[in-house]
Amino acid sequence: ILALAGFISGSVLEHFSFLLSSIVTLSFFIPILMNTSGSAGTQAATVVVRGLATGEIKLSDIWHVIKKEFLIGILMGVVAGVITALRAIILQGDVMLGFTVAIAMITAIIIATSLGGILPIIFKKLGVDPALMSGPLIATILDTTTLLIYFNVTMLLLWRLQYVLVERETD
């Protein structure tokens, strides 16, 4: 399953390779985005799996868990997003790249913590061991999710802006 998920992440990279070849600096931020969101999601899943095992979290707590992990994701995302944006701005001298990376980081971490919180509960409801979501499986799911978020945010913010600027220069 993990190898298949790895192939899916590779397919996402391949699909968006035109972005990476046009804006090479995007590739500099892929590891930090994937590592940070993967760690955040894995941490959330581990806490929920532990809570389910000890009885601190019940299946009926799903909305409370989602709300809590969503709020944690916002806080973590903003902190990590600002730090990553500053790195992009200081080292690359590109404010728009910094903004793009920050938005992607914030979004990826919010989704990561939310999925990390909800997937173990869903697994438990389905009668599947929720501990399956506490390790490599959630991280692999989040790798693909993070790449999709990053490239789509880039398409919305950087790629379209670059396209508009190029069009204006040719007019």
* DSSP-based helix, strand, coil % in the chain, nearest 5: 90, 0, 10
Would you state the pLDDT for residue 162? 63
Would you state the pLDDT for residue 17? 87
Find all residues with CB under 8 Å of 40, minimum gap 6, and list them: 73, 76, 109, 112, 113, 116
Domain chopping of the chain, boundaries: 36-164
CA separation for the pair 110, 143 (Å, rounded)? 14
Would you state the pLDDT for residue 164? 46
Q: What is the mean pLDDT of each run of 10 residues along the chain (171 residues)?
A: 77 87 89 95 94 91 92 97 96 91 98 94 90 79 94 85 52 49
CB 147 within 8 A of CB 31: no
Would you state the pLDDT for residue 168? 46
Would you state the pLDDT for residue 22? 81
CA separation for the pair 141, 35 (Å, rounded)? 12
- Of 50, 69, 49, 68, the C-alpha closest to 120 is 49
Record: fold of 36-164: Tetracycline Repressor; domain 2 (1.10.357)
Would you state the pLDDT for residue 59? 85
- Of 31, 101, 112, the C-alpha closest to 73 is 112
Would you state the pLDDT for residue 167? 46
